[in-house]
Amino acid sequence: MIKKSCVILLAILFAIPCLAAELTLPSVFSDHMVLQREQPVPVWGKADPNAVVTVEFAGQKKTTTADRDGLWMVKLDPLKASSKARELNVSSSLKSKVKKRKFTDVLVGEVWLCSGQSNMQWAMQGTENAAEAMAAANYPEIRLYDTPRVPSESPMEKIDAQWKTCTPEAVKSFSGVAYYFGRKLHQDLDVPVGLLLSAWGGTLIEPWIPPCGYEGIESLSAIHQRVQKTLPSSPLYKQAMADYLTDISQWFFDAEKAVQADRYIAAPPEFPEGLILTGNQQTPTKLYNGMLYAHIPFAIRGAIWYQGESNRADGMLYVDKTQALLNGWHKLWGYDFPFYFVQIAPYRYGNEDPAVLARFWEAEAEIVKAIPKTGMAVVSDYTTLDDIHPPNKEIPGTRLALLAEANDYGMDVVCTGPVFKKMTPKGSVLKVTFDSAQGLTTRDGKTPDWFEVAGKDGLFKKAEAEIRGNTVIVQSAEVAKPVAVRFAWHKLAVPNLVNGAGLPAAAFRAGDLP
């Protein structure tokens, strides 16, 4: 028996070299990918420990040595945009053994992460005018990457996905919002565009937030503690495991004595609750683990986001959760990239209090004020009150692109609708002033709707509104001296106020609010 065991052990030992790490890169590196222009481009993966790894692309040659775990990374110098199909070559060398990987049809341009829940995931085939739009989707310089929807208890290094060239067939199951966003950027900038989609319908924001994102945000401390307890490197986890191992060791000792004394053995201690990240895709960090971790730090220009329907009851807490999301993403990517999102659309939401959605809109607007490099696209004018998934995805995609064009690409475009600036009481009227209000008008030619005013009693009454320049004068016969105003403060509000670019105003409230 001992001789047989030795033979098996020797076989295993001799087999170890055969199991040495292959030269691998994350799945986000594949044929047809787009590399981000004008900033350092990380290229990373695994190789044999201590192997010399060389990366070659566009005349650059970068070399590094894999660490003892086989991990390696190099950074290409900033690249110029190019629609020329080139090869990215990676090789590793160890003791005269050379391994190679080659990626073909690689372009350089603009890469954006596209994330959120169902309105971001929503496929082109289910959108308005789908057949016509898909038939025209022949864009060889737009590349699509769709991350499989998989939650994970721990960070996943491998994802079953690859970049695809944008064709009518490829775009069929791809995000409509992301496609229209990328199409506009490609057409207006005349550079290749890569769209890295990672979205899952119905999901909360919490599972997309990395563990480090929750740090230092007091309102999210309970989630932070819960997440920290599942991380093997955290003090909370180590202490809980140390206590458990002490208990289980004592149980083994007592069990051995019980066996020797022919006594019953007590049940072993239960594994500590909360040390394993159980739960589905709604569990904090599980989608970061399963759908984002493997992509970081692939170079991107920024992120677009369409999510919030599942968090609409959060109110202002959603601002903190968005801050946590960006804290984590920015820390792990290593730079503060822009983040543009779609304000969720009006929708019936059953018998829910009409102000729940309005308060959430207020929180979304606050994100832009509170967090640098963020922007909000309003889509209240293109909505379906009985369908939480408005079929027109060209509008949100295009408006997200306008935000990027204005803020990141230096283009002279109007990127937002009228934004509340201040309120000035004047006797029986309120003067409401807006930013981004050049050409202030209504899209239907009627007087502005969905304005309400309130006096000191805090009771809001429907108001009449009149446009004067970049201001709106509001008043109500039922309120002699108004002290507060609110606009589109209802889940079914589809207001008509727009600026000269046709972009709608967002819901707001101001003044001496009850």
**pLDDT, tens digit, for every residue of 381-439?**
999 999 999 999 999 999 999 999 999 999 999 999 999 999 999 999 999 999 999 99
- What pTM was estimated for this model as a whole? 0.93
> Based on the domain organization, do 166 and 311 belong to the same domain?
yes
| pLDDT tens profile 203-260 | 999 999 999 999 999 999 999 999 999 999 999 899 989 999 999 999 999 999 999 9
Is position 7 within any domain? Answer: no
> Based on the domain organization, do 209 and 250 belong to the same domain?
no
> Based on the domain organization, do 489 and 442 belong to the same domain?
yes
Is position 31 within any domain? Answer: no
> Based on the domain organization, do 255 and 302 belong to the same domain?
no
The DSSP line for 303-345 is EEEE--GGGGGGTTHHHHHHHHHHHHHHHHHTS---EEEEPPP
Is position 315 within any domain? Answer: yes
CA 47 to each of CA 67, 98, 250, 293, 347: distance values in angstroms, whole numbers, following the listed order: 9, 11, 42, 19, 51
Give the pLDDT score at 159.
Answer: 94
Q: What are phi and psi of 164, to 5 degrees?
A: -130, 150
Q: Which residue is listed with tokens 């607007």?
A: 365
Is position 73 within any domain? Answer: no
- CB-based contacts of 6, cutoff 8 Å, min separation 6: none
Is position 74 within any domain? Answer: no
Give the pLDDT score at 21.
Answer: 58
Residue 432 and residue 507: Cα distance in Å, rounded? 13
> Based on the domain organization, do 338 and 297 belong to the same domain?
yes
Residue 252 and residue 474: Cα distance in Å, rounded? 77
> Based on the domain organization, do 337 and 463 belong to the same domain?
no
Q: Where are the alpha helices (DSSP H) in 151-265?
A: 168-171, 176-189, 221-228, 235-260
Domain boundary among the residues 358, 381, 416 is at 416
Is position 92 within any domain? Answer: no
> Based on the domain organization, do 265 and 403 belong to the same domain?
no
Domain boundary among the residues 382, 397, 416 is at 416
> What six digits make up the tokens of 27?
């799945």
Give the pLDDT score at 514.
Answer: 76
> Based on the domain organization, do 263 and 395 belong to the same domain?
no
- Most confident of the following: 10-24, 39-53, 265-279: 39-53
Here the CATH number for the domain that contains residue 375 is: 3.40.50.1110
> Based on the domain organization, do 374 and 236 belong to the same domain?
no
Residues 101, 91 contacting (CB under 8 angstroms): yes
Instruction: Grade residue 513 by pLDDT with cuts at 50, 70 and 90.
Output: confident
Domain boundary among the residues 353, 387, 416 is at 416
Q: Which residues pair with 306 in a beta bridge?
A: 116
Look up the domain containing 474 and give its range.
419-511
Give the pLDDT score at 7.
Answer: 37
Q: Which residue is listed with tokens 């807006």?
A: 434
Give the pLDDT score at 273.
Answer: 87
For residue 403, give the H/E element and its range. Answer: helix 394-407
Average pLDDT over residues 365-384: 97
Instruction: Grade residue 182 by pLDDT with cuts at 50, 70 and 90.
Output: very high
Q: Is the pLDDT of residue 312 over 50?
A: yes
Q: Is the pLDDT of residue 152 over 70?
A: yes
> Based on the domain organization, do 296 and 409 belong to the same domain?
yes
Average pLDDT over residues 486-504: 98
Q: Which residue is listed with tokens 């002279």?
A: 412
For residue 452, give the H/E element and its range. Answer: strand 451-454
Q: Is the pLDDT of residue 77 over 60?
A: yes
Here the CATH number for the domain that contains residue 450 is: 2.60.40
Average pLDDT over residues 299-314: 98
> Based on the domain organization, do 398 and 445 belong to the same domain?
no
Is position 259 within any domain? Answer: yes
Average pLDDT over residues 38-49: 98
Quote the percentage of the chain above a pLDDT of 90.
93
**CA 171, 175, 178, 184 torsion-angle sign:** positive
| pLDDT tens profile 456-475 | 999 999 999 999 999 999 99
| pLDDT tens profile 393-403 | 999 999 999 99
- Average pLDDT score, the chain: 94
Residue 215 and residue 105: Cα distance in Å, rounded? 41
Is position 27 within any domain? Answer: no
- CB-based contacts of 332, cutoff 8 Å, min separation 6: 210, 212, 296, 297
Residue 411 and residue 414: Cα distance in Å, rounded? 9
Q: Which residue is listed with tokens 């829940």?
A: 117
> Based on the domain organization, do 299 and 438 belong to the same domain?
no
Residues 446, 508 contacting (CB under 8 angstroms): no
Q: Is the pLDDT of residue 2 over 50?
A: no
- Number of structural domains the chain divides into: 3
